[in-house]
Amino acid sequence: MSLASSSSSSPFTSSVPSSSSHAHVLSAYGWDGGWEAEFAAYADQGLVPGRVVRVDRGQCDVVTADGVVRADTAFVTPHDPLRVICTGDWAAVETVGTPRYVRAYLPRRTAFVRSTSSTRSEGQILAANVDHAIIAVPLAVELDLGRIERFLALAWESGAQPLVVLTKADLVPDPVGLSYLVQDVETAAPGVQVLPVSATGGEGVDVLAAVVSGGTSVLLGTSGAGKSTLANALLGEEVMAVQATRDVDGKGRHTTTTRNLLVLPGGGVLIDTPGLRGVGLWDAEAGVGQVFSEIEALAEDCRFHDCAHLAEPGCAVLAAIEDGSLPQRRLDSYRKLLRENQRIVAKTDARLRSEILKDWKRKSAAGRAALEAKRGGRNR
Ligand SMILES: Nc1nc2c(ncn2[C@@H]2O[C@H](COP(=O)(O)OP(=O)(O)OP(=O)(O)O)[C@@H](O)[C@H]2O)c(=O)[nH]1
Ligand SMILES: [Mg+2]
Ligand SMILES: [Zn+2]
């Protein structure tokens, strides 16, 4: 320990919340020099940093250097649902007041977004600042590769590294059968680790613990997939409530109802989320491309650069289907997700356009009214 450095610090600095005091506590939650630098302007305003560990109805729990603060989110709940504060965000919180308000949050490094429903296309942010997107797929029900591909597209699009965890592996006691299931999922997930785990038997949990020990991870998947059970296994204690589901159709009640951020004993941060019945794509063209990277690589060898892989001569994609190296299901799924993505983007654009038009009409109506009032005034 250097006496020189400790004596050089002014005694007056202790009255100002020094960056290193909160950095020490918050580093377990992922705080780093980058966040510190981004936060400087808020620190100057007397605000303190904290990570959002839960959001519900107008309030959120933020972990700060002084512990968990319940704060009001009125200032960070704008009309645009993608800009609403979310679990995983780094918040700038007031130090005084009842209630204390979150005044802002730092620009997100990554964000997992889905569209909420097909009827009203609206984006919903599920987790912010995540490094690993863990897709939990239960082996208790038949594999739905299309749904895995859809989750993966959103995961790639989020900026996080996806990982597929095949849960409840103890329900497939035959190792050969299990390896076939893993292979099936691997064909739907190029560049993604596919890991069978059993929270009850413990298989694979240590491998998963190593992955999630760095950075922030989010558990995503259908209700009853075993996300919270896995979270508890990683935590080493029963923190999240778990409830039996009807495994035949996976349509149990939603046990987890809020997104919760938890610090893991072996390092790393985990966000457990409520089950999702389905995930709609949300402007995820690049993500779709990454899920089907082998098709996009093949397409580079098609004779025509705008080949639609339908019946064109010299089509490398169709040739791969012909020789059996590319399953037809993959091409069909690729087409389906690209089409769905285009529909969502077009719908969103259309809505934006109509909002702009409405705004313009309102403004021009106000302008005309003002002009008429002026003219009326002149004529009188
Ligand atoms: N056999 C077996 N059952 C498991 C395993 N993991 C979870 N389960 C069971 O699956 C059911 C659902 O588990 P949860 O962890 O609550 O599922 P969840 O994904 O968190 O569900 P939601 O919170 O509703 O999204 C419970 O009955 C668990 O006991 C496992 O590894 N093996
Ligand atoms: Mg749960
Ligand atoms: Zn082609």
**Residue 1 confidence (pLDDT):** 33
The closest residue, in CA terms, to atom 32 on ligand 1 is 168
**Residue 10 confidence (pLDDT):** 37
- Chain-centroid distance, C-alpha 116: 13
CA of 244 to the centre of ligand 1 (A): 7
Q: How far apart (Å, rounded) are the C-alpha atoms in residues 256 and 262?
A: 14
The closest residue, in CA terms, to atom 21 on ligand 1 is 224
**Residue 362 confidence (pLDDT):** 66
Length of the chain: 380
86 in a labelled binding site: no
**Residue 20 confidence (pLDDT):** 59
* Distance linking the first and last C-alpha atoms of the chain: 85
Residue in 67, 77, 64, 65 with CA at minimum distance from that of residue 104: 77
289 in a labelled binding site: no
The closest residue, in CA terms, to atom 7 on ligand 1 is 226
Ion ligand 2: residues, CB within 5 A, are 227-228, 255-256
**Residue 359 confidence (pLDDT):** 64
**Residue 216 confidence (pLDDT):** 98
The answer for residues whose C-beta is within 8 angstroms of residue 19's C-beta and 6 or more apart is 36, 43
For the chain, list residues with pLDDT below 70.
Answer: 1-20, 117-121, 245-253, 351-380
At what angle are helices 205-212 and 227-235 packed, to 10 degrees? 80
What are the distances in angstroms from CA 12 to CA 5, 6, 23, 131, 255? 15, 13, 19, 38, 50
Strand partners, 132: 161, 217
CA of 165 to the centre of ligand 1 (A): 13
CATH class of 126-272: alpha beta
The reply to whether domains 2-105 and 126-272 share a CATH topology is no
Instruction: Give φ, ψ of 155 to 5 degrees.
Output: -65, -50
Q: Name the CATH topology of 292-370.
A: Ribonucleotide Reductase Protein R1; domain 1 (1.10.40)
**Residue 375 confidence (pLDDT):** 63
Domain boundaries in the chain? 2-105, 126-272, 292-370
Strand partners, 260: 272
CATH number 2.40.50.140 given to 2-105: yes
223 in a labelled binding site: yes
